[in-house]
Structure 1
Amino acid sequence: MSDIIRLLPDHVANQIAAGEVVQRPASVVKELMENAIDASAKAITLIIKDAGKTLVQVIDDGKGMSTTDARMAFERHATSKISTAQDLFNLATKGFRGEALASVAAIAHVSVKTRRENDDLGTQIDIEGSKVTSQEPVVTPVGTMISVRNLFYNVPARRKFLKSDSVELRNITNEFHRVAMAHPQIAFRFVNNDSELFNLPASTYRHRIVNIMGSRVDDKLVPIKEQTELVNIQGYVGKPEFARKTKGLQYFFVNDRFIKHSYLHHAVVSAFEGLLPDKANPSYFLYLDVPPDSVDINIHPTKTEVKFEDEHSLYAIVRASVKHALGQFSIDAIDFQKDTELDLPYETIKNGAQAPRIEVDPDFNPFQPSGSSHSQKTNSHYHPKPAGNWDALYAGLEEKSTLTDEGSLEPASETLFSSTESTTTNIFQLQRKYIISTLQSGLLVINQNRAHERVLYEQLLRQLTVQNGVSQQLLFPIQWERPIEEVQILSQLQQELESVGFLFKNIGQNIVEIEGLPLDLKSADVESLLDSIIKFQQEELPDANFSHVDRLASRMATSMALKTGDALNAQQMQQLIDELFACKEPELTAQGKKVFTTITGEHLNAKFN
């Protein structure tokens, strides 16, 4: 019987390694940009075509490579960053893995041009599927340019599982953000399909964050700076009042490397305890500098998950630093050095203060009988108002007992300006959450939030299908500034949003101008609705039961529906009931939640047995 264990060919081993290192085009972007940073580049350009499926190109002005180094860089387990296993626990560089470029070359067409400063000519190497097809001298600037074309061309199964171009571009943009924010001293440029998305000059941490996330972020940042023997912390947290329901602006960097760490995230969240609105998430950009031997970055292939030597102490320091920064922000909000005279109108300062005039009735005697002549005397400045016949104002009003929002009975009177028309008496609102209506067989109890959600869902679904949404024109357009990747999501959904009533004046690089809204949407709710739609798109949750249009209509209906606590009059409640039972499926919301229930006379009788 022959032996069955054998060594794999190099190209097969490289393809297997590529599955661990290169999961999508964003993985290639991360590897190439980190290599450029390790080469001491001062300017890095990223060029993308077709969301990285056709081309990923990184150009840097770093040290460059010799002819031998350029060839060796694509061999397995070849690296200039480490020489012994102990070096793995004292890393000061990023792209140390020897299989990175070899794995990329195994599943793509790779071309590299590189030259060192003292060399007259550079080197160009072309590789296809781990095989070097050409190597020759070439005239090229100092630095390195690596082009990766036709990713996964020889692994069709992997290419088939790539997401849409919009999703892959969003992942590339996220990787670009993480690398660029960690190295503000380096200039970065990002070009997608011949369109420049970012051009970031060398700057400070704050300027880099603002240049990426938009100028709206600048006013929301609270600085943090803390130095200890265990860790040095600097960076920014967002002010509590600007917290969002989405989790987009949360970044941890350890030794200039982006990481994800749920334990440290909990430390930041706990520091915001009592300061955030319900279900809101804090924003933070925190840079931690720790000794390299106190952190292990080798527990995950992408190096985004790390293990700290003393996590409990680090947790306490991060939490205390954030609380201290927020405390300083709260104190600084009151400016004790402010000249209060500047708050007074100019005319008031010029004229000076005037003593108030006090006018009294010198003849007033509280012990004098009301019929006395002295009670009618007044001085020249005192004119008491005669008491009118107050009882006449209440003539004809009948006291009624109404059910309050809390469900208790209390007497209520008609107002002086109430209409003489009789109102509906068989419908009322309970706890500003339920609508109660009488039936021949008992009571109908409707959840007003879910009922309105069902009504809006079917309306929006019709508008998305036939594109006949009605819009209300705004007197002043709403200007909405967001990161570029979020604006891109809205740009992709522009046609659907306009079909339900949105009118966009302009969708720029990171600015959205809205000049019209759907009829049922309030201006104050626009930001939360668009945030919800963006979050829903970013989650990329597969759902076989709903189409893209269904999911969008459901998400918008959920955000626009009446909330618990909204007061309704009898006419509004009756209109909602009529619209609900005109729906195709009034019993359930789009998510399958129950909308109403009935309480029959038998149920009530059973309560008194």
Structure 2
Amino acid sequence: MSDIIQLLPDHVANQIAAGEVVQRPASVVKELLENSIDAGASCIKLILKDAGKTLIQVIDDGKGMSVTDARLSFERHATSKIRAAEDLFQLHTKGFRGEALASIAAIAHVEMKTKQEDQELGTHLKIEGSKVTYQEMASTPTGTSISVKNLFYNIPARRNFLKSDTVETRHIIDEFQRISLAHPEITFSLHHNSNEVYRLSESNLRKRVVSIFGSKMNEKLVPIEEETEMISISGFVAKPEYAKKKRGEQFFFVNDRFVKSPYLHHAVVAAFDGLLEQGSHPSYFLYLKVPTKSIDINIHPTKTEVKFDDEKALYAILRATVKHSLGQYSIAPVLDFNRDSNLDTPYDFSKKTSVPSTPKITVDPTFNPFKTETKRESSSSVGSTYVPKKETTSWESLYVATEEKVEQEDLFETTSEHHQANKTFQIQKKYLLSSIKSGVVLIHQSLAHQRVLYEEFLESITVKEVSSQQLLFPITISFSSAEIETIYTLKSDLESVGFDFDEFTKESVTIKGTPPSISESKITNVLEELLANVDLDVPDTNYNPFDVMAKSFAKSLAIKTGTYLSQKEQENLVNNLFSCKEPSIAPDGRATFKTLTLNEIDQLFQG
């Protein structure tokens, strides 16, 4: 029998490696930016076209490469960071994969210009699908410029799986933010389709955070600082009152590398215990320095996960540090034994000459807690009056509601006597219970309202003529630069559903008109919900901005759990839900109602 195992050709091996290294344009951005940082650059420029699908260019003023290094950098397993296996556990640099440039060159057109400071001329390389098509000496500044064009040009199936430009740009901005937050000492800039999104000058950490997330962030930050033998912690957490409904500005950096750690995230959330509203998420920018031997950063292909030697100790230190800082800045409640002026004797009262008399207390000497209570005559005296409890037959009667009507209203929340025979009841201000011929139907009021609003919005967007209600006074809403960029890319779509924009700046947007169904007080919530939904991984072929908008509007404007509904409102919601084209499914795919048949109910009570 002939041999069947064979070695893969290099270009095929590179394409397979590219599957691990390059999932999307943001993956290329991460690799190139990290290489520039490792090259000692003090200024890095990122240029994008069409969310990186057409062009990703990174220009730095680092130390550059020699002719030999420039060529070797595109070979597999080529790295300047590792000489032996032990080096993997003593890494202080970022780009140590050894597959990155080779993988990128296998699936794109790559052009590189690089020069070292002591050279008169640099090297100019062009590579297409792992093949070097051009190599010459060239006049170029000290440093390196790499252009990656037509990503996935030779793997159309992979290109088809990329998301919309808006979503891919959001992923690139996420990577850019993480890297620029880790290195405030470096100047960064980001240009997308000739539009400058960021220009971040060399600064300290606080200024870097503010320059990325907007000037209003400055007042929200609480500094964190702790130094132990095991770990050094610095950075900021946002004050609890600025917590967000969506997880967003949460950054952990270990040895200047962005990481994701659910375990350490839990430690931070635990420090905010009792300070956050239900469903709110704290923002934080935390920098941890640990000995390189105590962590393993190489456990995941994207190197965003990390494994620590002693996680329990780190958890305790981090939680205590954040909690201490919140208390130190009078954000968390702390014990204070200083005199509280609010407890002083009031000024007017201190002038009075009369001394208040001490009230007298009368105790019933015949009272026995272990006996059944009986009616007694009330006795009165100067200080207080003893009023015996109403006679009860046993201690269990203490758990009986004082009025049966109150109990009925709390369970079913009916509104008037003539509605008692109605088939719809509200339970715990969350569900609607409705009787049907075959049993009962339990409806989730918020999800049901989302379905109703979703279909109404889609109808108004696609069928009805679009109208806009002009605001009496235009309102200006603050966002981060990245969020402004996203809203701007959706500007024409938002205008087509009724929004009317007045002005865009780097940190705010002014709105002078909205769709008639959106009140002025809801505009911020609607746009924040839209920004969160844009991040959904929707394939480019099926991406529909109007559908995303309809889902966002419906979710942000629907009645919430905890909202009381009158009998009329309950009936309207039920009728509107079952008038929908798809009444059983909420816009996010969850069920809007569940049905219990009489047989299923009977089975609940069978022994």
Above 0.5 in TM-score? yes
The whole-number CA distance in structure 1 between the counterparts of 2:13 and 2:595 is 62
How far has the Cα of 1:409 moved from its partner?
A: 10
* Structure 2 residue matching 1:302: 3-state secondary structure: coil
**Inter-CA distance 520–168: structure 2 relative to 1 (3 Å threshold):** closer
CA offsets, 1:4-46, max 9 Å, x none? 3333222222222222222222222111111111111110111
Tell me the amino acid that sits aligned with residue 296 of structure 2.
D
Match in the other structure for 1:104: 104
* Contact 1:426/1:438 (8 A) holds in 2: no
The whole-number CA distance in structure 2 between the counterparts of 1:72 and 1:577 is 68
How far has the Cα of 1:52 moved from its partner?
A: 1.7
Match for 1:466 among 463, 468, 484? 463
| 5+ long unaligned stretches in structure 1 | 337-352, 359-400, 413-421
* Contact 1:122/1:139 (8 A) holds in 2: yes
CA offsets, 1:522-550, max 9 Å, x none? 44433333222222221225799996644
Are 2:550 and 1:553 equivalent residues in the alignment? Answer: yes
The whole-number CA distance in structure 2 between the counterparts of 1:275 and 1:183 is 31
What does residue range 142-221 of structure 1 map to in structure 2 within 5 Å?
142-221=142-221
CA offsets, 1:283-334, max 9 Å, x none? 1111111111111111112211111111111111111111111112325999
The whole-number CA distance in structure 2 between the counterparts of 1:433 and 1:97 is 51
**Inter-CA distance 442–79: structure 2 relative to 1 (3 Å threshold):** closer
What does residue range 381-392 of structure 1 map to in structure 2 within 5 Å?
none
* Contact 1:445/1:599 (8 A) holds in 2: no
The whole-number CA distance in structure 1 between the counterparts of 2:279 and 2:485 is 25
The whole-number CA distance in structure 1 between the counterparts of 2:212 and 2:135 is 39
Match for 2:475 among 474, 478, 484? 478
* Contact 1:433/1:448 (8 A) holds in 2: yes
**Inter-CA distance 269–13: structure 2 relative to 1 (3 Å threshold):** same
**Inter-CA distance 158–333: structure 2 relative to 1 (3 Å threshold):** same
Are 2:521 and 1:531 equivalent residues in the alignment? Answer: no
Are 2:9 and 1:21 equivalent residues in the alignment? Answer: no
What does residue range 36-435 of structure 1 map to in structure 2 within 5 Å?
36-330=36-330, 406-407=410-411
The whole-number CA distance in structure 2 between the counterparts of 1:161 and 1:216 is 37
Are 2:484 and 1:487 equivalent residues in the alignment? Answer: yes
Tell me the amino acid that sits aligned with residue 410 of structure 2.
E
How far has the Cα of 1:229 moved from its partner?
A: 0.6
**Inter-CA distance 87–470: structure 2 relative to 1 (3 Å threshold):** same
What is the CA RMSD across the aligned residues, in angstroms? 4.0
Deviates more, 1:574-583 or 1:214-223: 574-583
* Structure 2 residue matching 1:206: 3-state secondary structure: helix
**What percent identity do the matched residue pairs reach?**
54
* Structure 1 residue matching 2:98: 3-state secondary structure: coil
CA offsets, 1:100-153, max 9 Å, x none? 222222222222211222222222122222222232221111111112222222
Larger radius of gyration: 1
The whole-number CA distance in structure 1 between the counterparts of 2:208 and 2:128 is 37
**Inter-CA distance 11–239: structure 2 relative to 1 (3 Å threshold):** same
The whole-number CA distance in structure 2 between the counterparts of 1:11 and 1:411 is 73
Tell me the amino acid that sits aligned with residue 406 of structure 1.
D
**Inter-CA distance 587–80: structure 2 relative to 1 (3 Å threshold):** closer
How far has the Cα of 1:185 moved from its partner?
A: 0.3
The whole-number CA distance in structure 2 between the counterparts of 1:480 and 1:217 is 14
* Contact 2:264/2:318 (8 A) holds in 1: yes
* Structure 2 residue matching 1:406: 3-state secondary structure: helix
CA offsets, 1:317-370, max 9 Å, x none? 111111111112325999x9xxxxxxxxxxxxxxxx999999xxxxxxxxxxxx
The whole-number CA distance in structure 1 between the counterparts of 2:199 and 2:45 is 9
How far has the Cα of 1:449 moved from its partner?
A: 4.2
The whole-number CA distance in structure 2 between the counterparts of 1:227 and 1:402 is 57
* Contact 1:189/1:200 (8 A) holds in 2: yes
* Contact 1:501/1:518 (8 A) holds in 2: yes
Match in the other structure for 1:505: 502
Deviates more, 1:486-495 or 1:274-283: 486-495
Structure 1 length-normalised TM: 0.77
* Contact 2:226/2:321 (8 A) holds in 1: yes
CA offsets, 1:475-523, max 9 Å, x none? 3333222233333433344445445543332344442222234444344
CA offsets, 1:246-283, max 9 Å, x none? 11211111111111111111111111122111111111
**Inter-CA distance 566–472: structure 2 relative to 1 (3 Å threshold):** farther
The whole-number CA distance in structure 1 between the counterparts of 2:49 and 2:73 is 25
The whole-number CA distance in structure 2 between the counterparts of 1:584 and 1:5 is 56
Are 2:461 and 1:457 equivalent residues in the alignment? Answer: no
Structure 2 length-normalised TM: 0.77
Match in the other structure for 1:516: 513
* Contact 2:441/2:593 (8 A) holds in 1: no
Tell me the amino acid that sits aligned with residue 514 of structure 1.
I
The whole-number CA distance in structure 2 between the counterparts of 1:211 and 1:53 is 27
Tell me the amino acid that sits aligned with residue 257 of structure 2.
R
Deviates more, 1:65-74 or 1:569-578: 569-578
Tell me the amino acid that sits aligned with residue 88 of structure 2.
L
Tell me the amino acid that sits aligned with residue 526 of structure 1.
I
The whole-number CA distance in structure 2 between the counterparts of 1:530 and 1:172 is 21
* Contact 2:105/2:130 (8 A) holds in 1: yes
* Structure 1 residue matching 2:329: 3-state secondary structure: helix
**Inter-CA distance 503–467: structure 2 relative to 1 (3 Å threshold):** farther
How far has the Cα of 1:566 moved from its partner?
A: 3.9
**Inter-CA distance 305–571: structure 2 relative to 1 (3 Å threshold):** closer
* Contact 1:14/1:103 (8 A) holds in 2: yes
* Structure 2 residue matching 1:124: 3-state secondary structure: strand
**Inter-CA distance 451–61: structure 2 relative to 1 (3 Å threshold):** closer
* Structure 2 residue matching 1:126: 3-state secondary structure: strand
**Inter-CA distance 584–154: structure 2 relative to 1 (3 Å threshold):** closer
Larger RCO (CA under 8 A, 6+ residues apart):
2
How far has the Cα of 1:181 moved from its partner?
A: 0.7
The whole-number CA distance in structure 1 between the counterparts of 2:62 and 2:483 is 32
* Contact 2:161/2:539 (8 A) holds in 1: no
* Structure 1 residue matching 2:147: 3-state secondary structure: strand
Deviates more, 1:89-98 or 1:121-130: 121-130
**Inter-CA distance 274–301: structure 2 relative to 1 (3 Å threshold):** same
